[in-house]
Structure 1
Amino acid sequence: GSASGGPDEAVRQADRLAKDAGAPASGTAAAFVNAARELGMTRVSLATPYDEAQTETLAGYLRAAGFDVVRAVAGGPASPAEAAGWNAEAQAKLVREAAEPGPDGVLLACTALRTAAHIPQLEVAAGRPVLTANQVSVWEALRLAERRVREPALGTLFTVLPPVRG
């Protein structure tokens, strides 16, 4: 689902999809919120390959979800095909810019960005946790399936273990 309708609309979309599918559902914007909360983030920065208007839409979504968005960096406009071609250094440059003035973490939006192989590099560049669109989408799917994977190569998010139940 899109972030343009805000968090409440994202929940409605996921609820409709879950009802139709007979299984839990979510979206990438909601996954960013859930993952950031999992890491205890309250102050976040946003980095996107989008234009300023699209970036502000996502920043507004995050604000409506209760986050203090300390910076929103628009690195585009990039089409999905262009964003898919951004290498690790181009992504690191964007997260470094967004990492100032010291948020709890940086959210790197856009499912077209190929980030999985270098999330640890992005976290080093930012000096704090970085959450990427595909990373949080996979994490959210695992969370909804009540599964956890501990894999530091996938970033700080994949080092957090769930609370012990019982």
Structure 2
Amino acid sequence: MAVAGFLYPGYSAEDDYPEFSRRLGPGVELRVVHTLMREDAHRVDALLDVGGADVLADGARELRDLGVDSVVWACTSGSFVFGWKGARTQVEGVREVAGTPASSTSFAFVNAVRHLDLSRVAIAASYPDDVTLRFVEFLRDGGVEVVAMASRDIITAAEVGTLAGADVLDFVARNDHEDAEAILVPDTALHSAGILDDLEERVGKPVLTANQVSVWEGLRLAGAENPHDGLGSLFRAGMPARTAVADS
């Protein structure tokens, strides 16, 4: 049994995790702890607070007591906003408290792109432009080329969590680019567990979403190896060994 733990900020699309668990079937367990969100805002100062060391340490202690095999800070913007070096420090702090391998959604995106042997991506983000640009910079630091970027300019995670699957499909398809080998859809506030194969069928290429790569990263670090159908190209490709960006 591989038991992956997730630090999830506030409440918006946390029900994606039991849906992933249902689709993954026996042999894995996903445990979610909600971390403090003092202000729900896709704004740099608020995101720095959401991903603060004190906030994550409280959640990491709770997951440690739940006996998880790995921990992922399941917040894209609350990790990449710290920059590459700061996000590594963030993950190291979680690892030290939880006593397990640790990562974050931002590093999970880079690891997933590398695992699929891709290098050029488009971004379809729910964030305002200034926040999305921070993600672009983070990906570039990880060796991923961004050929197109779209921002939906939604301020709160709560609003992102209300987006219907059909709306997400349309938004992602509209913001594909012919030079992109995959489309990245950040924001763990966005529901995606039930539409991953639909997204890829719509655009004809891999689509990586925040909750998808978070779950994949958590299971990879927990020692899971088996591929799974029904959750996009990433899960069909299985999980690599525990040697990737930001592994502890």
1:17 maps to 94
State the distance in 2 between where 1:73 and 1:98 align.
6
What is the alpha-carbon root mean square deviation over aligned residues?
Answer: 1.6
Structure with the higher fraction of residues in strand conformation:
2
Identity of aligned residues (%): 37
Worse-matched range after superposition: 141-150 or 113-122 = 141-150
1:34 maps to 111
Matched, 1:145 2:222: yes
Q: Of the candidates 137, 141, 145, which is equivalent to residue 60 of structure 1?
A: 137
Give per-residue Cα distances to partners, 1:41-82, cap 9 Å, x unaligned: 100111111111111111111111111100111012242111
What's the TM-score once normalised by structure 1's chain length? 0.92
2:56 maps to none
Relative to structure 1, is the Cα distance of residues 38 and 79 closer, same or farther in structure 2, using a 3 angstrom cutoff? same
What's the TM-score once normalised by structure 2's chain length? 0.63
Query: Secondary structure of 1:151's match?
Result: coil
Structure with the higher fraction of residues in helix conformation:
1
Give per-residue Cα distances to partners, 1:111-147, cap 9 Å, x unaligned: 1111000111111222210010000000000111111
State the distance in 2 between where 1:6 and 1:121 align.
32
The answer for unaligned runs of 5 or more in structure 1 is none
Relative to structure 1, is the Cα distance of residues 114 and 40 closer, same or farther in structure 2, using a 3 angstrom cutoff? same
Query: Secondary structure of 1:153's match?
Result: coil
How big is the shift at 1:163?
Answer: 6.5
State the distance in 2 between where 1:49 and 1:76 align.
6
How big is the shift at 1:14?
Answer: 0.8
1:102 maps to 179
State the distance in 1 between where 2:164 and 2:226 align.
26
| 2:112 alignment partner AA | A
Runs of 4 or more above 4 Å deviation = none
| 2:142 alignment partner AA | A
